[in-house]
Amino acid sequence: MADFIIFLRKTNIFKTFMSLRQTYLAGLCFSDMALSKRLIVLLLSSALFLSSCMNKKAMEFKHVLDIQERKVTQMLIGKKGSESRKLNYLIADDFDRALNVVNEQEREFDTVLHTLKSLETAGLEKASALQNAAINYYHSLKALHMYAKKEIAQQKVISTTNGVDRDKAQDELMKLAKAKQTLYDNVYQTEEPFHNVLLAFEDANGLR
């Protein structure tokens, strides 16, 4: 019960209930106290129902985020994930198949981003901010991993040519490696806000 009261205080339900209660009681005489009690019970029941619906919606929202996180985690660090397959192809100098894997990852990222953009945020505290933070984070991850297309192209040239073309490709690969740090920085800069807004969302909706 204490957790429920804390949850109500964090939402507009508690404010609405107290406002209605004060307005009603201000116009009551002592003979109407029995009716007042019934009204309070009714309002509490309504508040409980609304909070239950909101909490369920918040849980479903969070569940969708968790699913997307698991998908991306499996893709990037899972033993049988696509990132692992890409690295194996690169070790074998099979650059075409490695590039196909990157294209596969691009489609997976696009699916995750589409799911996040389709989330319904109305009526949930901090949901819109969390949605935007999640989109920014996964967009930065996508940009980082799609950068491999440029790297693989130069690696293929280095592996299949000699002389000037090979030297140019090596120089270009060095430039790409230096520029890649910006993409890592973008991931770090979007990860912390995403984490912080997620905690704020859980607090605001009574999920922890």
Instruction: Summarize pLDDT for 68-126 with one digit per residue, the tens.
Output: 999 999 999 999 999 999 999 999 999 999 999 999 999 999 999 999 999 999 989 99
Question: What DSSP designation does 30 have?
Answer: G
More reliable by pLDDT, 66 or 15: 66
- Region 14-33: mean pLDDT is 49
Torsion angle of C-alpha atoms 189, 143, 109, 203, degrees rounded to 10: 10
Q: Which residue has the tokens 């192809």?
A: 89
Average pLDDT, the chain: 84
CA Rg value for the chain: 27
CA of residue 12 relative to chain centroid, distance? 25
Closest Cα to residue 169, out of 184, 177, 102? 177
Instruction: Summarize pLDDT for 196-208 with one digit per residue, the tens.
Output: 999 999 999 988 7
- Please state the pTM of the whole predicted model: 0.75
In single-letter form, the type of residue at position 26 comes to: A
